Structure 1
Amino acid sequence: MTAPASELTRLVDRFDDVTVRDLAWLLFAPDLLREGDAALAHPFASAQERDATLTWLKALDAAPQPLHGHARDPKFTRLGIYAESLVRFFLAHGPAARLIAANVPLRHQRRTIGECDFLLESASGARLHWELAVKFYLHIGDDDGDASRAARLSNYVGPNLQDRFDIKHARLMTHQLALTRRAEFALLGFDGPWQAQLFIKGRLFYHGLDGDQVAPAPEIGENHLRGWWLTASEWREARAIAPNDDRAWIVQPRMAWLASRRLDADAARTLIAESDAIRARLEGTIAPTMIAAYARDEAGNFVEESRGFIVPDDWPMRAREFAASAN
């Protein structure tokens, strides 16, 4: 019961509070993986639970202090930990499944061998083990133009080239989803049986502003969220073609990579006025930088149009080497 991109925007934009928007994004965003490749988690077991959750989020939007107290912890400097706190709040206080335990460690000979993200019980009594992953990968194709080679999970790499989708996928499937089947888990005394499911959200970025035309790897969900990436030189050339672009460009800090943010008219005008400085800074980037483009809609409001990464000119070569190391 997740939503494609246009429906997701409509669902999230009804909420004003940024933290509530991020929670709504996690609950309604399309899964990164295709159903069948993995057993996927579904936050709502029925249309009634989905509607009840939207009503609950509306009330939370009007009085978000409990959510802020739970999720706006200064110690949460990693996006994954922040996302985990949002899902935990939903399971503990929302109108759908009931949280039994979170972050349950498994130990063998005093060594931690894994941690179950969430143990919960659905309204029908099913006991579910959820593993959460929120990932953002850039797709790097092969120079030889072989589509079959390009459509591989190993060609989805983290912006800092420290993570790759095939590695994460294997870890999730062979280790994390198997934790509740281990003898060490049985010793903890949680009555089962447990159904392991993957709660995987995020966005995949494809080369070029027409990256929507790239065929994804077969494991990827059909409606997954897409973005684009350009090298600094390609970005400079694109800006030269459209020097009077009236979009407002925002650099997205990592903790703002989930839901789109609101941009009022005054802020947009300021960003447009500073666009030359923003473009120059991006052209000289030394690390991959996520940006969002906000365009004026028919009502004169600025809404997020797209997201992308500007990467250093040598990044594609290093990324291809990282992807090729899977062979």
Structure 2
Amino acid sequence: MAAAASELTRLVDRFDDVTVRDLAWLLFAPDLLCEGDAALARPFASTHERDATLAWLKALDAAPRPLHDHARDPKFTRLGIYAESLIRFFLAHGPAARLIAANVPLRHQRRTIGECDFLLESASGARLHWELAVKFYLHIGDDDASRPARLSDYVGPNLQDRFDLKHARLVTHQLALSSRAEFAALGFEGPWRAQLFIKGRLFYHGLDDRPIEPAPEIGTYHLRGWWLTASEWRNTRAHVADVERAWVVQPRMAWLASRRLDASAARTLIAESEAIRSRLESALAPTMIAAYARDEAGGWIEESRGFIVPDDWPARAREFAASAR
């Protein structure tokens, strides 16, 4: 799992532009789910397509204006919409599959019943229907180590989403859209193969990197982070402050790829670190943060990513998870 994260970092860190890095992250990050009830999307059909995409991203990194014009729309205030725009740009302009249509609505008796995210054709001629999901869940099942983890143990930070609910919606509704009569009536020549394009990160309780066994549906190499309550954060301050480290509060639109810190930005954050840590001790809502540390070359790289949650959050999260039973 650590090797997968290191490989992703190696691939993403070759690009300087933030938007290009986010696109690279979406294309190369490990899947959140393993192959099971749903077939998983593969952005590259071959090693050649993978290498061609890396070369294309390198050229885009040198001249990112077209990507910026496409993806940096003020209307894109939701992370999922931003991620969709990046994948749409890749399918429309990249060297792999060819985009046929995006955001195709299906209607029944004038009522919209769903929307196919992407319809594309691979280099071999396969017609694919991709549904994109980018999710960030916190694992809350660590209070009972005697039972296996379940998808319902993974809850959204604001307790409005849960992985079992999202998984069921994707498999039973979203992926099934291209097999409905309403889709066939649109005239897109098939047959179509539905696949799930699911990326993100799962956060586990504590900083000690305990080997928590994930739910069986979870991808083996999924990206991991940590979470602490505000009180736990306060009690571990001596630990997290023992090394020169820069702490960054991650706005939601920066939840994809890691960012780089230059020396000036790192110095500013280190100077403000005490204030940042103190503010997080009284967190009123779950807050994602990233820790940056100096590497051997003197640069500043992301070391870990986690959430600080209010002290009453775990009890509410367990109640939300238990409602699945």
Q: What is the alpha-carbon distance in structure 1 between the residues aligned to residue 241 and residue 300 of structure 2? A: 19
Look up the match of 1:305.
Answer: 303
SS of equivalent to 2:57: helix
Q: Alignment RMSD, CA only?
A: 1.0
Look up the match of 1:231.
Answer: 229
Moved more, 239-248 or 152-161: 239-248
SS of equivalent to 1:270: helix
Tell me which amino acid in the other structure corresponds to 1:86: L
1:276 aligns with 2:280: no
Q: Would the alpha carbon gap of residues 176 and 271 (structure 1) be closer, same or farther in structure 2, given more than 3 Å must change?
A: same
Q: Would the alpha carbon gap of residues 128 and 304 (structure 1) be closer, same or farther in structure 2, given more than 3 Å must change?
A: same
Look up the match of 2:83.
Answer: 83
Q: Deviations over 1:95-148 (max 9, x none)?
A: 000000000000000000000000000000000000000000000015343232
1:19 aligns with 2:15: no
Alignment of 1:117-136 (within 5 A): 117-136=117-136
> 1:244 deviation in Å?
3.7
8 Å Cα contact 1:232-1:313 kept in structure 2: yes
Alignment size in residue pairs: 323
SS of equivalent to 1:38: coil
Q: Deviations over 1:223-273 (max 9, x none)?
A: 000000000000011103454431100000000000000101111111111
Look up the match of 2:184.
Answer: 186
Moved more, 207-216 or 274-283: 207-216
Match of 1:267 among 254, 261, 265: 265
8 Å Cα contact 1:79-1:254 kept in structure 2: yes
Look up the match of 1:30.
Answer: 30
> 1:300 deviation in Å?
1.4
Q: What is the alpha-carbon distance in structure 1 between the residues aligned to residue 287 and residue 66 of structure 2? A: 32
8 Å Cα contact 1:39-1:198 kept in structure 2: yes
Q: Deviations over 1:145-201 (max 9, x none)?
A: 3232xx100000000000000000000000000001000000000000000000000
Q: What is the alpha-carbon distance in structure 2 between the residues aligned to residue 308 and residue 276 of structure 1? A: 18
Alignment of 1:1-327 (within 5 A): 4-141=4-141, 143-148=143-148, 151-327=149-325
Q: Deviations over 1:261-319 (max 9, x none)?
A: 01011111111111110001111110000000001111111100000000000000000
Structure 2, gaps ≥5 residues long: none
Runs of 4+ aligned structure 1 residues displaced above 6 Å come to: none
Percent identical across equivalent pairs? 85
SS of equivalent to 2:167: helix
Tell me which amino acid in the other structure corresponds to 1:259: A
SS of equivalent to 1:213: coil
Q: What is the alpha-carbon distance in structure 2 between the residues aligned to residue 252 and residue 295 of structure 1? A: 16
8 Å Cα contact 1:212-1:226 kept in structure 2: no
Q: Would the alpha carbon gap of residues 241 and 91 (structure 1) be closer, same or farther in structure 2, given more than 3 Å must change?
A: closer
Q: What is the alpha-carbon distance in structure 1 between the residues aligned to residue 105 and residue 14 of structure 2? A: 37
SS of equivalent to 1:167: helix
Tell me which amino acid in the other structure corresponds to 2:72: R
8 Å Cα contact 1:142-1:320 kept in structure 2: no
8 Å Cα contact 1:248-1:293 kept in structure 2: yes
Tell me which amino acid in the other structure corresponds to 2:266: A
Query: Scaled by the length of structure 1, what TM-score is found?
Result: 0.97
Q: What is the alpha-carbon distance in structure 2 between the residues aligned to residue 300 and residue 180 of structure 1? A: 51
Q: What is the alpha-carbon distance in structure 1 between the residues aligned to residue 255 and residue 210 of structure 2? A: 19
Q: What is the alpha-carbon distance in structure 2 between the residues aligned to residue 197 and residue 76 of structure 1? A: 24
Q: Would the alpha carbon gap of residues 53 and 286 (structure 1) be closer, same or farther in structure 2, given more than 3 Å must change?
A: same
